[in-house]
Amino acid sequence: MTETTQPRTSPLAGELIAEDFDGWSSQPRQEFVDNAHNHQVGSALLSETDEVKVWSIRLAPGERVAAHRHVLDYFWTALTDGSSVQHTDDGTTRRVTYRSGDTRHFACPDGEYILHDLQNDGPTELAFITVEHKRRPHS
């Protein structure tokens, strides 16, 4: 896997609620530094083949997934209704609302990445399936 060095250019999900690290304490800022190359994009890896990785994410109210780096094209599908707050390494914070069945696709072309966390901001469990498309080396 080639290491990516450019932030993503594709739009992120949700409503922008803060910029310039507004409201971030030193703890999440340090976590983004420490996890800058954390490729564990879900709570549990359910399946992996030569073509895909399938992840489960289940978060109780208030629970979060630590900062992690997406470098592969991927999509997520919400399994439950809910909402989250996400911080991104560019200093933005977004609130995202989900309905069961919502699906969102993201591209990470060569050299791009998405580095973010995810916290359940709602009163019920938030659950997703995330599928990463593995790239094959060019011949």
pLDDT in tens, 44-89: 999 999 999 999 999 999 999 999 999 999 999 999 999 999 999 9
pLDDT confidence bin for 110, thresholds 50/70/90? confident
Q: Sign of the C-alpha dihedral, residues 85, 110, 75, 45? A: negative
R_g of the chain, CA atoms, integer Å: 15
Return the pLDDT at 28: 86
- For the ranges 55-59, 92-96, 103-107, 134-138, which has the lowest average pLDDT? 134-138
CA distance 106 to 8: 9
Tell me the residue type at 16.
L
Distance CA 2, CA 110 (A): 8
pLDDT band at 7 (very low <50, low <70, confident <90, very high): low
